[in-house]
């Protein structure tokens, strides 16, 4: 039987279940990563299990999101993360060292390994031939202690690449082409695997861009083969010893197929305000630009920054444009500096920021009102930039620098000859900046530092026998986790304080939502298709749960958000008939009799009664709960922590 690369690696790590699309499997996780916006909660969850040590081959805590220290909160949390990493044997990448995805690719990623990260863009590790999956922090906390990670076996979408990218077209344009074809829902329930002769022409940097933004397709993950280009990358990082060749059997191993001739691609751009609103750059040329940013979560590698340096050398940024650079890692900016690239950028008028996510998560770099911002970021959801009514476009570094020079959206082909970028034989890097795990005996001496903003993890109640609640909010399709739990420099510093961060749930859509929840003692949220797409932040599930929401009903759910809902005891129900979504309104009440019994007995179809006013007869609607027996047990217990607490027995090493 022919097998895809994804199937091969997953089966090597299989703990429970078998490869059958749609069934649940548990896999062993080799590596984990956390970032500070999700990591503090993940480690609070880890602590609450009281197990004392970790069991992964390698785990890394990155500080890359909440870098602005406008008060004590972020700085306090950075100290908490460093101390807990040293206490439990976790690598620690400090503030300013770089974005988790980029640094992990450089220093830790290895072909054939499994990586679970509390960030949706963990999929970037697929550029090295890894199964790298984004998940909620609680799933990562359990992986830390050796528990399996459970997923539904996805379909494999095989994308055959042929040809070679023409000048001024790069990996960003490949993934924008995929988003144009498949939309932000097209990858749901799928792993996207690239193969074919065109793959050999792509550097690991281009593959990383494509794999990173597979998250925008809604995919479980993205994977490339580990080949000679992978070996070249690892040699430059001084880590060639971890290389192994990994590839699929052939194109017959896939459930679905697509094909892209790289030579036919043109520069593309995602227009406001969705990553799949893609057009050719030539179709939107001439729109005035006030801001252009290269870097952050994606397109922040040495190659991406050096193409900017080569293009802008001897030129000056347009006076109406703020041209900004967010290096992906300290290693990246160090190697760009070694080739005089930093001097070139400074002389041209660019603003160079520290290595980190920054504007991608709304942590600074908000554009001026009513202006256009071009970004090489992965997302342009409405308001994510920090500016209400923003006009954010997503593009390649080539398009960004061309537009920064001309002051308007510009096809980079107008820049003339395409510069040649030669990567160093060995990258410069300082191995001592990332703090390595301490010896076991020394770990016991570390005191975990907690600032006043860190509050204990809340206790969650089990599922009640019956459930009745008012529809507190009804929303449409493609609601993102940014809609549910806003990012930005006001909200993100509260990520360790669930009572405080819960005050901001849905504030971008309905400022009265929180007060209604408090007044009604909770209720029900109704959504359309792809509810909860976007980031892995589990606060988008936990904060509504804290406010009393224990049922959400939608046409469909984003993968990570659905898992997070179950992990925190919120029942994710689907409409059996789409007409029922249309017929119910915010303010109606829904009663589910014997809900606990239905969940316990494995019922898939659950009847509910919807009333527009108290005392009225109401209308019966059919809801669907697609959940495994394991997930049903979690829901009955009121969440995953309630389920595992007291059941975990692991032995810790002693020196």
User: 403-452 pLDDT, tens per residue?
Assistant: 999 999 999 999 999 999 999 999 999 989 999 999 999 998 999 999 88
Q: CATH number of the domain at 5-12+24-264, out of 3.40.50.10420, 3.40.50.720, 3.50.50.60, 3.30.499.10? A: 3.30.499.10
d(CA 35, CA 27): 22
Q: What is the mean pLDDT of residues 490-517?
A: 90
User: 176-219 pLDDT, tens per residue?
Assistant: 999 999 999 999 999 999 999 999 999 999 999 999 999 999 99
Of 53-67, 110-124, 446-460, where does mean pLDDT reach its minimum? 446-460
Cβ within 8 Å of residue 247, ≥6 positions away: 5, 195, 225, 226, 227
Give the model's pLDDT for residue 651.
66
How many CB atoms lie under 10 A from the CB of residue 60?
Answer: 24
Give the model's pLDDT for residue 655.
55
- The band of 37, judged by pLDDT with boundaries at 50, 70 and 90, is confident
Q: What is the mean pLDDT of residues 600-617?
A: 87
User: What's the CATH superfamily of 268-415?
Assistant: Aconitase, domain 3 (3.30.499.10)
- The band of 615, judged by pLDDT with boundaries at 50, 70 and 90, is low
At 492, list the tokens.
Answer: 């993100």
569: pLDDT strictly greater than 80: yes
Q: What mean pLDDT, rounded, does the chain reach? A: 93
User: 325-374 pLDDT, tens per residue?
Assistant: 999 999 999 999 999 999 999 999 999 999 999 888 888 899 999 999 99
User: 105-130 pLDDT, tens per residue?
Assistant: 999 999 999 999 999 999 999 999 99
Asked, as a colleague might, if the bond just before 273 is cis with ω within 30 of 0, I would say yes
- The band of 49, judged by pLDDT with boundaries at 50, 70 and 90, is confident
Give the model's pLDDT for residue 448.
93
Q: 204-212 vs 171-182: helix axis angle to the nearest 10? A: 30
Give the model's pLDDT for residue 376.
97
Instruction: Decide: residue 159, CB within 10 A, 0-12 exposed, 13-18 middle, 19+ buried.
Output: buried
d(CA 281, CA 345): 24
Question: Across the beta sheet with 131-134, what order do the strands follow?
Answer: 91-93, 58-62, 31-35, 114-117, 131-134
Three-state SS annotation for 332-361:
HHHHHHHCCHHHHHHHHCCEECCECCHHHH
Q: What is the mean pLDDT of residues 67-80?
A: 90
- Tell me, what DSSP letter sits at residue 425? S
Give the model's pLDDT for residue 383.
87
Domain 5-12+24-264 matches domain 467-644 at the CATH topology level = no
Give the model's pLDDT for residue 614.
66
All structural domains of the chain with their residue ranges: 5-12+24-264, 268-415, 467-644
d(CA 311, CA 301): 16
646: pLDDT strictly greater than 70: no
- The band of 650, judged by pLDDT with boundaries at 50, 70 and 90, is low
458: pLDDT strictly greater than 70: yes
- The band of 490, judged by pLDDT with boundaries at 50, 70 and 90, is confident
Q: What is the mean pLDDT of residues 554-566?
A: 93
User: 286-333 pLDDT, tens per residue?
Assistant: 999 999 999 998 999 999 999 999 999 999 999 999 999 999 999 999
Of 136-145, 405-414, 613-622, where does mean pLDDT reach its minimum? 613-622
SS3 of the chain: helix, strand, coil, percent, to 5: 35, 20, 45
Using alpha carbons only, what angle is made at residue 556 by residues 552 and 560, rounded to the nearest 5 degrees? 80
User: Could you say which architecture CATH assigns to the domain 467-644?
Assistant: Alpha-Beta Barrel (3.20)
Nearest Cα residue to 117 out of 198, 44, 212, 204: 212
Q: Strand 114-117 to strand 131-134: parallel, antiparallel, or no bridges (unpaired)?
A: parallel
User: 152-167 pLDDT, tens per residue?
Assistant: 999 999 999 999 999 9
- The band of 48, judged by pLDDT with boundaries at 50, 70 and 90, is confident
At 553, list the tokens.
Answer: 């009903």
How many CB atoms lie under 10 A from the CB of residue 388?
Answer: 10
508: pLDDT strictly greater than 90: no
């Amino acid at each position: 039987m022919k097998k895809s690369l994804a199937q091969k690696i997953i089966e090597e790590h299989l703990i429970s279940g078998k490869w059958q699309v749609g069934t649940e499997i548990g896999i062993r996780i080799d590596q984990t990563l956390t970032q500070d916006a999700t990591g503090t909660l993940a480690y609070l969850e880890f602590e609450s299990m009281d197990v004392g040590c970790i069991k992964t081959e390698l785990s890394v805590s990155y500080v890359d999101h909440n870098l602005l220290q406008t008060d004590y909160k972020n700085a306090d949390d950075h100290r908490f993360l460093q101390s807990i990493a040293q206490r439990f044997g976790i690598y620690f990448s400090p503030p300013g060292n770089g974005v988790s995805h980029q640094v992990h690719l450089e220093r830790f990623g290895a072909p054939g390994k499994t990586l679970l990260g509390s960030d949706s863009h963990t999929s970037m590790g697929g550029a090295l031939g890894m199964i790298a999956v984004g998940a909620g922090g609680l799933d990562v906390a359990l992986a830390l202690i050796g528990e399996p990670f459970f997923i539904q076996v996805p379909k494999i979408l095989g994308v055959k690449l042929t040809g070679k990218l023409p000048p001024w077209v790069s990996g960003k344009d490949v993934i924008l082409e995929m988003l144009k074809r498949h939309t932000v829902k097209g990858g749901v329930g799928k792993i996207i695997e690239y193969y074919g002769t065109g793959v050999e022409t792509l550097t690991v940097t281009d593959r990383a861009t494509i794999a990173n933004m597979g998250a925008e397709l809604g995919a479980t993950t993205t994977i490339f083969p580990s080949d000679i280009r992978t070996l070249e990358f690892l040699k430059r990082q001084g880590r060639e010893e971890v290389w192994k060749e990994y590839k699929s059997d052939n194109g017959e191993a896939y459930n679905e197929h697509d094909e892209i001739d790289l030579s036919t691609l043109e520069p593309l751009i995602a227009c406001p305000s969705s990553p799949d609103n893609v057009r050719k750059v030539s179709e939107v040329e001439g729109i005035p630009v006030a801001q252009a940013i290269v870097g952050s979560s994606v397109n922040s590698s040495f190659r991406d920054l050096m193409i900017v340096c080569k293009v802008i050398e001897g030129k000056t940024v347009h006076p109406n444009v703020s041209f900004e650079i967010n290096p992906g890692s300290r290693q990246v900016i160090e190697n760009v500096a070694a080739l005089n690239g930093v001097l070139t950028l400074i002389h041209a008028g660019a603003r160079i920021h520290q290595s980190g996510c920054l504007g991608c998560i709304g942590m600074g770099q908000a554009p001026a009102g009513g202006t256009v911002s071009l970004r090489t970021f992965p997302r342009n959801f409405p308001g994510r930039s920090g500016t209400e009514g923003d006009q954010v476009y997503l593009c390649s570094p080539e398009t960004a620098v061309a537009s920064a020079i001309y002051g308007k959206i510009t096809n980079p082909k107008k820049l003339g000859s395409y510069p040649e970028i030669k990567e160093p034989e060995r990258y410069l890097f300082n191995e001592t900046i990332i703090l390595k795990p301490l010896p076991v005996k020394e770990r016991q001496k570390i005191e975990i530092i907690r600032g006043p903003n860190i509050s204990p993890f809340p206790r969650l109640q089990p599922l009640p026998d019956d459930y009745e609640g008012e529809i507190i909010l009804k929303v449409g399709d493609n609601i993102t986790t940014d809609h549910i739990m806003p990012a930005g420099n006001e909200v993100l510093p509260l990520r360790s304080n669930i009572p405080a961060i819960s005050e901001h749930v849905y504030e971008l859509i309905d400022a009265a939502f929180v007060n209604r929840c408090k007044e009604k003692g909770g209720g029900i949220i109704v959504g359309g298709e792809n509810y909860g797409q976007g980031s892995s932040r589990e606060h988008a599930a936990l904060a509504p749960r804290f406010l009393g929401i224990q049922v959400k009903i939608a046409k469909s759910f984003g993968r990570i958000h659905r898992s997070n809902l179950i992990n925190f005891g919120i029942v994710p129900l689907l409409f059996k008939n789409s007409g029922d979504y249309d017929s119910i309104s915010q303010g109606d009440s829904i009663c589910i009799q014997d809900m606990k019994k239905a969940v316990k007995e494995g019922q898939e179809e659950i009847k509910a009664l919807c009333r527009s006013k108290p005392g009225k007869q109401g209308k019966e609607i059919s809801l669907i709960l697609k959940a495994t027996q394991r997930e049903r047990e979690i829901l009955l217990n009121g969440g995953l922590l309630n389920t595992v607490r007291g059941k975990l027995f692991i032995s810790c090493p002693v020196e």
